[in-house]
């Protein structure tokens, strides 16, 4: 669970023995507030959370300035576009996350993590920590180490 001292992504990465850097900043819950993080939006991942009809959760990470193409995500998951429902606060809380801090760093094997292919080309990746008042800095390789089942797809144009 996310705590004031250590958000869920930091806890997850520490438990896996993977390196990361935690950046504290004022809460940034919307795209308009991203400047508050002080981090480079061009090397950031915006992660969106969805719940499928079977109640499974999907975390989709795309480049910070990009827009998700829902049809692309549905195709990557092998589900109809209509199957994608935005995760509500309770679904996020069950993962130890809150709106504005959704992270692709998730150890729950029942959660499907999908990442836009271009994010793997970055040297450093800034992403949500689980809490809107901090971000995690990792390498894309770290995310791949954490999630051997990471689904890589074209999620944006």
pLDDT, tens digit, 9 for 90 and up, residues 85-131:
999 999 999 999 999 899 999 999 999 999 999 999 999 999 999 99
The per-residue pLDDT for 32 is 67
H or E, element range at 145: helix 140-146
pTM of the model: 0.91
pLDDT tens for each residue of 19-71: 999 999 877 776 666 666 767 778 889 999 999 999 999 999 999 889 999 99
Using H for helix, E for strand and C for coil, what is the string for 54-84? CCCEEEEEEECCCCCCHHHHHHHHCCCHHHC
Give the start-to-end residue ranges of the domains of the chain. 8-153
Cα–Cα distance, 23 to 126 (Å, whole number):
9
pLDDT at 5: 78
Task: Give residues with Cβ within 8 angstroms of 8, minimum separation 6.
Answer: 1, 2, 95, 96, 97, 103, 105, 106, 129, 130, 131
CATH code for the part of the protein at 8-153: 3.90.960.10
Backbone φ/ψ region at 38: left (φ over 0), alpha (ψ -120 to 50), beta: left
């Amino acid at each position: 669970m996310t705590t004031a001292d250590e958000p869920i992504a930091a806890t997850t990465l520490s438990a896996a023995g993977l390196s990361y850097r935690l950046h504290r900043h004022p809460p940034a819950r919307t795209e308009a507030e991203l400047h508050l993080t002080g981090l480079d939006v061009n090397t950031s991942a915006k992660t969106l959370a969805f719940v499928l009809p079977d109640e499974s959760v999907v975390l989709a990470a795309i480049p910070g300035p990009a827009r998700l193409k829902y049809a692309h995500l549905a195709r990557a998951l092998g589900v109809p576009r209509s199957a994608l429902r935005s995760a509500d606060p309770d679904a996020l809380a069950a993962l130890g996350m809150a709106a504005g801090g959704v992270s692709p760093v998730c150890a729950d094997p029942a959660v499907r993590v999908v990442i836009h292919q271009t994010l793997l080309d970055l040297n450093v990746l800034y992403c949500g920590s689980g809490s809107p008042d901090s971000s995690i800095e990792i390498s894309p390789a770290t995310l791949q180490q954490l999630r051997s089942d990471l689904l890589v797809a074209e999620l944006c144009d």
